Amino acid sequence: MKVIAGEVLEKGSISIKSDNNQHDYILRVLDINDLSAVMNLQSRLIDIMEQKELYVPITEEEMVQLFEGAGEALGLYIDNKLYAACSLLSQVPYESNMARELNFSEEELFRVAQLELSLVDPDLRGHKLQYRMAGILANRVRNKAEIRYLFTTVSPHNYPSIETVTSMGLYIAKLSKMYFDWDRYVVYRDFINPVQLDTANTVIVANTSFEEQQELLKNDYRGYSQFKDQDGIKIMYARKL
Ligand SMILES: CC(C)(COP(=O)(O)OP(=O)(O)OC[C@H]1O[C@@H](n2cnc3c(N)ncnc32)[C@H](O)[C@@H]1OP(=O)(O)O)[C@@H](O)C(=O)NCCC(=O)NCCS
């Protein structure tokens, strides 16, 4: 799919939780004119977030760099109000390159794209919008010859986001402290040589069992799926074939 800034990718109707009615929406590529709408959506959602450590805010400067060519962003508008946004960096600065967490070589760092911002207004949650928007951005970026890896980081407590990334084929490769000393899974997908896993021999671990997960990851296991039971979030690990 060829994506041009401002281009409308999808139009349709969607139900909003607060009034249970269908509303017309537009899903389109964002540009610099959407900057204040994105920053407003982010601050509005951060204000109401109970666990602030689930989300690392994007700065206005980073967003401007993205609009100036470092990546792409999509947004869903209803009646000129931005309800959801998602962005991907395809020119990733060295300092924030997540592949450094896995000691990738200097050359490989240039082949990394990163999913960055992901926001859905609570009124629209449950429509898999994060998955849908991130999927469009991922499909677009994998056509670029230089891009081989898609990275992002996810909190072990952010169930919808863990579900989104594993469904996109990004597997948990590391669990560490990042950003403001927050716990994060480093997840990635290799578009050229995807990891094959021995899923016939799955090990199930609680998201909070950090030592056990770190031991598995050290022994070539990858986290590839998840579910919830009465005790909380469980992550499914399998060894690389
Ligand atoms: C993460 C986020 C983008 C996911 O939104 P989404 O695409 O609408 O999520 P999904 O449609 O996959 O939701 C799956 C289920 O989880 C629920 N859910 C989604 N986000 C939730 C949240 N923050 N808190 C509680 N439940 C949530 C949905 O209602 C849905 O429930 P259902 O199956 O009973 O309908 C959204 O929660 C959000 O904006 N969170 C704040 C910012 C953030 O954490 N961004 C991601 C950083 S990696």
Report the CATH architecture of 8-194: 3-Layer(aba) Sandwich (3.40)
**37 alpha carbon – ligand 1 mean position (Å):** 20
Which DSSP letter does residue 201 get? Answer: S
Nearest CA to ligand 1 atom 31: 126
Q: Would the CB of 125 count as within 6 Å of ligand 1?
A: yes
Evaluate whether 170 touches 188 at the Cβ level (below 8 Å). Answer: yes
**123 alpha carbon – ligand 1 mean position (Å):** 10
The conformational region for residue 119 under phi > 0 = left, psi -120 to 50 = alpha, else beta, is: beta
**66 alpha carbon – ligand 1 mean position (Å):** 24
Q: Which atom of ligand 1 is nearest to the CA of 163?
A: 12
Sequence spans of domains, the chain: 8-194, 196-241
Nearest CA to ligand 1 atom 47: 55
**197 alpha carbon – ligand 1 mean position (Å):** 27
**Test site for ligand 1: of 44, 49, 56, 125, most ligand atoms within 8 A of the Cβ:** 125
CA–CA–CA angle 48, 51, 53 (5° rounding): 115
Q: Would the CB of 129 count as within 6 Å of ligand 1?
A: yes
Give the span between the Cα atoms of 22 and 13, in whole angstroms: 6
pLDDT of the chain along its 241 residues, tens only?
445 558 999 999 999 999 999 999 999 999 999 999 999 999 999 999 998 888 889 999 999 999 999 999 999 999 999 999 999 999 999 999 999 999 999 999 999 999 999 999 999 999 999 999 999 999 999 999 899 999 999 999 999 999 999 999 999 999 998 877 889 999 999 999 999 999 999 999 999 999 999 999 999 999 999 999 999 999 999 999 9
Q: Which atom of ligand 1 is nearest to the CA of 131?
A: 7
Residue 38 has φ and ψ, to the nearest 5°, of -65, -45
Please give the C-alpha separations between residue 175 and each of 44, 47, 135, 216, 240, in angstroms, as whole numbers: 29, 27, 23, 10, 17
**121 alpha carbon – ligand 1 mean position (Å):** 9
